[in-house]
């Protein structure tokens, strides 16, 4: 527990404030590395996202990926009130989170948080979920800590969608380029 330099190894990440106080900001084991080699501590980013009235919970993802993304569980009580005020009609939470106005509002909230983050920490993509995360539903521990593995397993299709969409777009671009090159090869030369 105490190393040769007399440091206590707790697995926590912190910063020294005012040259005297240690403020714990994250757990080391929750950090992850992007494919470019940059490390991300998700908890401070998640806490910044949760400062928004619209966001109840968030999970930053991106281990071994090109960029960071997030799964967001909205504050549905606040969001329903906001939609009523803006006369946005919906039948259920699924329809609500697919509404262009709602997606744009959350995009604005994420862009605002990104302004305070390092470039490699920016949330490039996010997905809203229809469920509220709680200890009762299992996504949060009794002490309200995010159960990352459980959430990742539960939303693995959504996570794959976040990271495959760019590859699908790239595949389409490649197909178009190959098609154009094939057409150009078959044109008569002048």
Residue 174 is predicted with a pLDDT of: 59
Mean pLDDT of the chain, nearest integer:
85
Q: Say what the pLDDT of residue 91 is.
A: 93
Tens-digit pLDDT profile for residues 138-174: 999 888 889 888 999 999 999 999 998 545 555 555 5
Contact of 137 with 69, CB cutoff 8 Å: no
Q: Which residues of 107-137 are buried (b: 16+ CB within 10 A; e: fewer)?
A: eebbeebbeeeeeebbbebbbbbeebbeeee
> Would the pTM count as exceeding 0.75?
no
Give per-residue pLDDT as tens, 56-65: 999 999 999 9
Query: What does the pLDDT read at residue 17?
Result: 84
| Residues paired with residue 68 on neighbouring β-strands, in sequence order | 123
State how far the Cα of 137 lies from the Cα of 57, in Å rounded to an integer: 13
pLDDT tens, residue by residue, 112-140: 999 999 999 999 999 999 999 999 999 99
Report, as an integer, the average pLDDT of 93-111.
Answer: 96
Give residue-wise pLDDT tens across range 73-96.
Answer: 999 999 999 999 999 999 999 999
List of domains in the chain: 30-174 (3.30.300.30)
């Amino acid at each position: 527990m105490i190393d040769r330099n007399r440091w206590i190894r707790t697995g926590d990440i912190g910063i020294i404030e005012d040259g005297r106080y240690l403020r714990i900001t994250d757990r080391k084991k929750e950090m992850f590395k992007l494919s470019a080699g940059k490390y991300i501590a998700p908890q401070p980013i998640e806490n910044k996202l949760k400062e928004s009235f619209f966001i109840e919970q968030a999970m930053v993802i991106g281990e071994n990926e090109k960029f960071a993304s997030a799964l967001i569980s909205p504050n549905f009580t606040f969001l329903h009130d906001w939609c009523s005020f803006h006369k946005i009609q919906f039948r259920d939470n699924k329809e609500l989170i697919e509404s262009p106005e709602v997606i744009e509002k959350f995009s604005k909230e994420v862009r605002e948080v990104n302004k305070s983050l390092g470039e490699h920490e920016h949330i490039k993509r996010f997905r809203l979920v229809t469920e509220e995360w709680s200890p009762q539903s299992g996504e949060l521990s009794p002490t309200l800590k995010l159960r990352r593995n459980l959430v990742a397993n539960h939303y693995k299709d959504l996570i794959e969608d976040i990271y495959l969409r760019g590859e699908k777009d790239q595949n389409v671009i490649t197909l178009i380029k190959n098609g154009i090159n094939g057409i150009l090869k078959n044109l008569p030369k002048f």
